[in-house]
Amino acid sequence: MTSAPTLHTGAVDALARLLPADGPLEPLPWPVTNGEIPTSGMTTLTVDYLGAVSAELALSLPTATEAAIRAAGGSSSVSAADVLRPALEAAAETLGSGVLGDVAQDDSTALFTDPQSSVFRISEPGRTEPFAWFAIRIDQAASRPSSGGTDISAHKMGRIHDVEMALSVVIGRTRMTVANVLGLEPGDVVDLDRSAGAPADILLNGRLIAHGEVVVVDQEYAVRLTKILDSAETVG
């Protein structure tokens, strides 16, 4: 089983790559004994992850960062939780297969000050103020090694029987800067990374599970599954 420090580092690296910032971000381990742990005056998002490796995650945002993130969402009605969920999903997916709960704005003092947590100060090069703080605590009681993939008992699955799962169909992707996204106007064309007629990706809570083709049923769009991926093919 991968060691906890390695899992923590992989999670924060994946998170930092998807945070909406003007440039690359640098995560720095920040032991609880260092002090300066953000416990008040900031917006903090928390979320639980249940799977092969279960964990609690928290992302704490200074006021300036939250304002920039809301602006990146393109609308005042878009919450910071909605904008940041993909980054938190990327962090959680490094722990292995599982289900990410609802991202909530909540007090995370206990998580950031727990010696069992790994805390990271995420900074933008050239700036003294932190862009964000990230904390992750692996639930050792719920996380057990498995010799044959994920082993989640029926009792554990009962905890998430009423959790809504989002099924998405992706016909292509592209990478754009925040400035380019905010500059989009009606009529603009965005190039995608695949050709017309290529299979669409079917994602469950952001995780690739199948390929398919877009069809029309009763004048509405639908997707016909052409290939269900096994666990090894869904990684990443």
CATH number of 197's domain: 2.30.330.10
Average pLDDT in the 3-20 region? 86
Which residue type sits at 12? V
The reply to whether 141 and 45 lie within a common domain is yes
Least confident residue range of 88-92, 138-142, 188-192: 138-142
> pLDDT tier at 147 (50, 70, 90 boundaries)?
very low
The reply to whether 26 and 109 lie within a common domain is yes
The reply to whether 143 and 177 lie within a common domain is no
Buried b (16+ CB within 10 A) or exposed e, 49-71: bbbbbbbbbbbbbbeebbebbbe
Q: Name the residue range of residue 74's domain.
A: 4-160
pLDDT in tens, 196-210: 778 888 888 778 888
The reply to whether 115 and 32 lie within a common domain is yes
pLDDT: which is higher, 78 or 87: 87
pLDDT in tens, 154-188: 555 666 667 777 888 888 888 888 888 888 899 99
pLDDT of residue 7: 86
Of the residues 160, 178, 195, which one is the last residue of a structural domain? 160
pLDDT of residue 153: 55
pLDDT of residue 149: 46
For the cut 80, the answer to whether the pLDDT of residue 110 exceeds it is yes
Alpha-carbon distances of 33 from 5, 76, 112, 196, rounded to whole Å: 17, 37, 11, 55
Backbone angles phi, psi at 89, to 5 degrees: -65, -40
The reply to whether 46 and 133 lie within a common domain is yes
**How far, in Å, CA of 32 to CA of 30, rounded?**
6
Of the residues 101, 132, 160, which one is the last residue of a structural domain? 160
The reply to whether 153 and 215 lie within a common domain is no
- Number of domain units in the chain: 2
The reply to whether 55 and 115 lie within a common domain is yes
The reply to whether 117 and 196 lie within a common domain is no
Helix 4-18 with 80-93: angle, nearest 10 deg: 140
* CATH number of the domain that residue 20 is part of: 3.40.1550
The reply to whether 139 and 177 lie within a common domain is no
Q: Model pTM greater than 0.75?
A: no
Residues 6+ apart with CB under 8 A from 105: 43, 44, 45, 46, 80, 81
Of the residues 160, 183, 213, which one is the last residue of a structural domain? 160
The reply to whether 119 and 103 lie within a common domain is yes
pLDDT: which is higher, 57 or 220: 57
The reply to whether 11 and 121 lie within a common domain is yes
> pLDDT tier at 12 (50, 70, 90 boundaries)?
very high
Average pLDDT in the 92-104 region? 87
The reply to whether 178 and 104 lie within a common domain is no
Residues 6+ apart with CB under 8 A from 165: 99, 204, 205
Average pLDDT in the 23-33 region? 83
pLDDT of residue 102: 85
CB 115 within 8 A of CB 138: no
Per-chain mean pLDDT for the chain = 79
Least confident residue range of 3-7, 90-94, 117-121, 136-140: 3-7
